[in-house]
Structure 1
Amino acid sequence: MSAGTVVGKNGEAAREPPWLHVRRKAFEFGLLPLPGLAHNDVVTGFRNLRVKLLQQAPPVWSLNINSNASYAAPASGGRKRVATAGIAAALEITESHAHLVLDTLASVLNEAGGFVDHLATTPVTEIDTVGADVDDLLIFLYIQTYRRVPSRPHRGAADVADVWPSTSAIDGFLPALSPMQVRSSTVSRRSMPSQAEEEVNQLAYVQKHLPNLLSLLSETTEEEGSSNKVITAEQFEHLGLLLKAKNPGNEPVHLSQAAPFFANSDPDMPAAPVPVPQVLEWVQQHICAASSFSKGTPVGKEEKVVKDSALVEGSLSETADVTMADASASPVSPTPSNAQTIIVPNGVLHLSKDWRPEGMTFVDGVMKASVLKREGDIKGETVKVSHCHDSVVYVLAPLKYVSVFGCSDSTIVLGAVGKAVRVEHCERIQLIVPTARITIANCRECVFYLGVNQRPLFTGDNHHLQVAPYNTFYPKLEAHLAQVGVDATVNRWDRILTLGMVDPHDAFLHPAGSADVQAEGATQLPPEKFVTFSVPRWNEADSEQQLLTRANPFLLPKPYLLAQQHRCKAAENLKQNLKNTPLEEGKKRELFSAIHGHFKDWLFASGNIRQLYDLQALDRSDSNGME
């Protein structure tokens, strides 16, 4: 197979199916800002780490297997799983950080297919009773060496100084905009790497490190006096953390079943182990950018080119990582006007400008408006809310992953999120979400109303953040919570976990000692400032009205409940006093006219008048859609 692959004008791929694509989830939601997790000496470090982890694995691990999940029993008599205590001892980290490692791995494991590890489907509050498979954990720890694509530098230092009181991690992302535009936009899409660049970088990373990854999963067999490294179908399936396979019809297939040397094998009659060089060659021949082969991708008439990195076959290598330092949009070869050319250190990718990654729904660039997304509007398992300003965004659907990026002066209400939420580079937003996990990085002056099953993680350059209990509901909330596995009886909104200022995965060099600087976490919103958020009631086509959620399913802490009751009582008393005050009819009209006038002034001054018009428009649109 040649190093370069060309997709012609008819969209036919030169690569033979099945196609292997990189799973974004591991890189977008699975990277932890714990510098101690990344090993520079991958040869010695991960070999020694494997030994330490196996030493911490109990001789027998009893699993109550979920009947809905298929699990391949581990080899070596079950000595392949470790829980929080074992991870802490092997990695020499605190138990809170070890639990974070285990929990994050659980959130990004592939739960689709025939070989699903039990950790991927276990409720988030019970993951320590299941533990992690050592091979999955090793792959997860290995990708902590990944470096993200660097942002494009801002063009004007004066713009940065005009916005922030001091330099921060966000400074490198600010664009060359007018002062008004700068104030209203935390992060410019022109300064940030595109989704395509990120995916190409992930592909380049996996291609480069395949020999190391396969070597970690391999075992040695003695044949005729010589030692050979081989891989079994079960061991190969552990690459499912990073790779997914698709057949010629663009349908997902099990990773091991996609490989001809493991096809049609099962636990009762497993296929024979295969030499590592043979597995490596096959993966190299079939791994490619998902953007080039996704069903429904607007191929158009342009030519797409993907050049693969040259990979060195053999055992673990010590070569430098792919940093994407040279990634840029540049016309290297003649391309159509509607094409985007992405250059990476090991290749070129041509994409149409209207390309969108598969399995992801975007709510992007909403300015001074309200937007509603419900179940029928969501395609795939990931939602990205990005670059929204002075807006209200409702995404009321059961979700797996949500990314909120570069938003400002907005209220964002999310449905139940079963895997993870990540919030980055936002300012002055209110985020309302029930979720299993949430990470907040590099944000300012935001309030997070959380119903969260695991400790909220705060990292990076955060300033003036507040957390509060979950404060709303919508008709299908409880059904969505049950569908994605979020437990409304467990809310750890106030047990925040704060890590360092430096993210070891970004592409920037950091000053010596900066990795040890403690990041600013979040304070609790005072109970007297806590208010319930009312989600508008649009037309509901639900026939089973008795099953609709009618109150916040998350129990409010007593101080917040008392403050809410006090506010409601005060409002009721004011209403009764106005009603019972003996006033002449003319005076009453003047009083109510003054109240209405002040309310109207507040609607205009706060900008909420626009939201009322938006909600009316959404309601009319919803009604028309149901006719």
Structure 2
Amino acid sequence: WRHIACGKLQLSRELAWLYFELFRGLLGPDPPRRLRWAEAEAACASAEELERERSKARVRTGLRRGGAPRPGLGGSPAQPDSSLSPVLQLSVDTLQFLLFLYVQQLHKVSLRRSLLGDEWPSPRTKSPSLTGKSAGGSKNWNEQEHHAFVQSHLLDLLELLLEPEQLSNSSHCTSSSLVSSEAVCALSFLLEGTVSSSGTVRPLHELALWQPCHGHNGYSKVARAFSLGKLESWLRSALTANPLGMTACLRAGRKLAWAQQVEGTTRRAKIACSARVVPQVSPMVVMSQVCRQTLAKSSDTLVGAHVRIHRCNESFIYLLSVTIEKCRNSTLVLGPVETSVHVQSCDSVRVIVVCHRLALAATTGCTFYTLTPTQPLILSGNQAVSFAPFHTHYPMLEDHMAQVGLATLPNYWDSPMLVCRDSGDTGVFRLLPPSDFYPFVVPFEMEGDTTETPGGLPQEYQEALRQREQKVQVWQRTVKEAGLTRDQRKQFQMLVENKFYEWLVQTGNRQQLDSLVPPAMGSKQAAG
């Protein structure tokens, strides 16, 4: 892959690795293997040594019919690298990886649509609504866009998976082309479904190999392959938009009464979980329009779920177990996230998280306190982004990190990658100055062994905290040695408390403290 990406496609090595590692992350490697790879990567003393370790990653290939090895992307059979233990070998399936690369075209801008005003790249791209209806250029969560893309490119996807001998001299399919069972199995990376609306979700290859479907999809037991024409027709007739996305979550999912309804706000907080729709699929949790409150939740509902936080304002959200979109003036404290945290179209948001991957687009004035083994991805449309080291803890944090395979090293919080350079501007982000750095305290009691920030802080930030603590000690000693009378001490204490209260009001921190008080019995809560 690196040979093709760098030599043929002229991608940088960093970007080539990014595509490979992103796809590998989608497959959800088991936590023990992820921890071992993190240990091996952290042991690299230089960029060159790290590059050598990464070069041992390979494309995993299947077998041709008859047992012959399928060539890898470079044209020769891929062999295991004996210099790396099997535990640390990173590999992906060739055909699935090709599909992953192909579907990146979903985000390609159409010149015709852009001229008509329907699509245009801008710093503040619109996103689909929670009902799945299109609202502009962002297609990540738009189920109708996904459906239209696959319908339009289905033949290309099938051609991509054909064996070379099934293609014509012009590298296109013919009326007699056969699609191998292995190719249909790879297509299960994108497609899954049910039989007769039974509710049991199965991968595509299981449905395709079901006996009653053979007459429709052209499967031959002798050739162990499918007729391309019949397979394409069968897929087109059955293909529908994802019925398990956000729309289903809000309409048919379980309503979660996690948020209060705040008086004086026109929008109603909505929180729902799709876990009850189809139990076999990872649940989705949608949290929308939480306003001016603190929401804290550590729930089994969040374990392994896809969480979307949408249009939340002036709130403090603690999810100790994520796409964050169109939120403003809020702080989000997340437990360890096994895959990715996506932040889009947010203003003045603080995100505090340990995660495998962080990606941000169209954000303004946001600060990210992260511990991550991969480089944060800066996509298009970002302004005034700040990165800082992860700076908090709670008692179960290290246990939760181990459960999802996240270690303290390597940590690339300070090495973001500019994937989409806006006019070549590299000044869209900064590292938070140590003078502006303050630790964050999770204000809840719970059982556990973690008593400090995992991995500690970089020396310059630790030194800034030490100097600030010294100033506090000097101030306390000065007050103690001032020789104030009892009445003077009382008067001085009232003065300090009044100034502190003014500061709480001016900075908005009073709202956070007030919202930590449990609501009175009988107060209104969100029903969904």
Structure-1-length-normalised TM-score:
0.60
Q: Cα distance, 1:478 vs. partner?
A: 1.2
Within the alignment, does 1:568 sit opposite 2:469 as a pair? yes
Structure 1 residue identity aligned to 2:231: V
Alignment root-mean-square deviation, CA: 4.0
User: What aligned pairs does 1:33-432 form with structure 2 within 5 A after superposition?
Assistant: 82=1, 84=2, 87-109=5-27, 128=57, 129-147=89-107, 169-170=122-123, 173=126, 198-219=142-163, 228-247=176-195, 248-260=197-209, 272-291=224-243, 298=251, 359-378=283-302, 381-397=305-321, 402-432=322-352
2:63 aligned residue? none
Q: How big is the shift at 1:90?
A: 3.8
Structure 1 unmatched ranges of 5 or more:
1-81, 154-166, 175-188, 264-268, 301-352, 503-515, 622-627
1:3-30 deviations in whole A, cap 9, x for unaligned? xxxxxxxxxxxxxxxxxxxxxxxxxxxx
- 1:396 Cα deviation (Å)? 1.1
Question: Which residue does 1:523 correspond to in 2?
Answer: 430
Contact 2:249–2:273 (CA<8 Å) still a contact in 1?
A: no
3-state SS of paired residue (1:553): coil
Residue of 432, 440, 461 corresponding to 2:360: 440
What's the counterpart of residue 532 of structure 1?
439
Cα distance change of structure 1 residues 535 and 556 upon mapping to structure 2, 3 Å threshold:
same
- 1:13 matched residue in structure 2: none
Q: What are the Cα deviations for residues 521-571 of structure 1, in whole angstroms up to 9, with x where unaligned?
A: 311111121111001114x3xxxx4x4321111331110111112222322
Residue 496 of structure 1 contacts residue 521 of structure 1 at CA under 8 Å; is this kept in 2?
no
- Name the residue aligned to 1:612: 513
Question: C-alpha offsets along residues 461-516 of structure 1, whole Å, 9 cap, x if unaligned?
Answer: 222111110011122211221122222222101111113346xxxxxxxxxxxxx6
User: Are 1:553 and 2:454 matched, yes or no?
Assistant: yes
Q: Distance in 2 between matches of 1:171 and 1:234?
A: 42
- What secondary structure is seen at the aligned counterpart in 1 of 2:441? coil
Q: Which residue does the alignment assign to 2:496?
A: 595
Question: What is the CA-CA distance between 1:591 and the residue it aligns to?
Answer: 1.0
Higher RCO (CA 8 Å, separation ≥ 6 residues) = 1
SS at match of 1:568: helix
- Asked if structure 2 preserves the Cα contact closer than 8 Å seen for 1:500 and 1:518, the reply is no
| Contact 1:465 1:522 survives alignment (8 Å) | yes
Contact 2:326 2:345 in 1 (8 A): yes
Distance in 2, Cα, partners of 1:477 & 1:618 = 27
> Which residue type is aligned with residue 434 of structure 2?
P
Contact residue 338 and residue 405 of structure 2 kept, 8 A: yes
| Partner residue in 2 for 1:331 | none
1:365 Cα shift? 1.1
**1:284/1:377 CA distance change after superposition, 3 Å:** same
Aligned to 1:486: 406
Residues 216 and 485 of structure 1: CA distance in aligned 2, closer, same or farther (over 3 Å): same
Could you list the runs of 5+ residues in structure 2 that have no partner in the other structure? 42-52, 58-88, 115-119, 128-132, 167-173, 213-220, 254-269, 278-282, 523-528
Cα distance in 2 between the residues matched to 1:554 and 1:130: 25
Native 8 Å contact 1:361 1:380 kept in 2: no
Over 3 Å counting, the alpha-carbon distance change for 1:531 and 1:620 in structure 2 is farther
Q: CA deviation at 1:227?
A: 8.3
- Are 2:392 and 1:468 equivalent residues in the alignment? no
Say if 1:99 and 1:587 are closer, same or farther in 2 by CA, change over 3 A: same
SS at match of 2:354: strand
Whole-angstrom distance in 2 between the partners of 1:616 and 1:144: 46
Instruction: Report if the CA contact (8 A) 1:169-1:461 is conserved.
Output: yes
SS of 1:290's partner is: coil
Alpha carbons 1:417, 1:436 under 8 Å: kept = yes
The 1:564–1:389 alpha-carbon spacing in structure 2 relative to 1, beyond 3 Å, is same
* Distance (Å, rounded) in 2 between the aligned partners of 1:433 and 1:389: 19
Inter-CA distance 496–94: structure 2 relative to 1 (3 Å threshold): same
- TM-score, normalising length: structure 2: 0.70
d(CA) in 1 for partners of 2:402, 2:495: 47
Aligned AA (1:418): E
Once the two structures are TM-superposed, the CA of residue 449 in structure 1 deviates from its matched residue by 0.7
Q: Deviations over 1:408-433 (max 9, x none)?
A: 11111111111111111111111111
Alpha-carbon distance change, 196 to 234 in structure 1, aligned in 2, over 3 angstroms: closer
Q: Distance in 2 between matches of 1:230 and 1:147?
A: 30
Residue in structure 2 matching 1:585, options 486, 491, 511: 486
* Aligned-partner residue type, residue 253 of structure 1: R
Q: Where does residue 79 of structure 1 map in the other structure?
A: none
Counterparts of 2:310 and 2:304, CA distance in 1: 17
**Contact 1:233–1:271 (CA under 8 A) maintained in structure 2:** no
Count of residue pairs the alignment pairs up? 425
Distance 1:500 1:148, change over 3 A: closer
CA contact (8 A) 1:467 1:523 kept: yes
Moved more, 465-474 or 226-235: 226-235
Q: Distance in 1 between matches of 2:93 and 2:34?
A: 11
- Partners of 2:162 and 2:121 in 1: CA distance: 43
- Secondary structure of the 2:407 match is coil
Determine the C-alpha separation between the residues in 2 that align with 1:536 and 1:284: 53
Contact 1:462 1:520 in 2 (8 A): no
Offset of residue 576 of structure 1: 3.4
Contact 1:109–1:241 under 8 Å retained in 2: no
CA offsets per residue over residues 141-200 of structure 1, 9 Å max, x none? 2112114899x99xxxxxxxxxxxxx99245659xxxxxxxxxxxxxx996689998101
Does the 8 Å CA contact 1:461/1:519 hold for their aligned counterparts?
no
**Distance in 1 of aligned mates of 2:432 and 2:138:** 35
Is the partner of 2:176 in helix, strand or coil?
A: strand
Query: Are the aligned partners of 1:291 and 1:297 in contact in 2 as well (CA < 8 Å)?
Result: no
In the alignment, is the contact (CA less than 8 A) between 2:393 and 2:441 conserved in 1?
yes
Would you say 1:495 and 2:415 are equivalent positions?
yes
Deviations 1:563-616 (A, max 9, x none): 112222322332333234321111111111111111111122222222112111
Percent of pairs with identical residues:
25
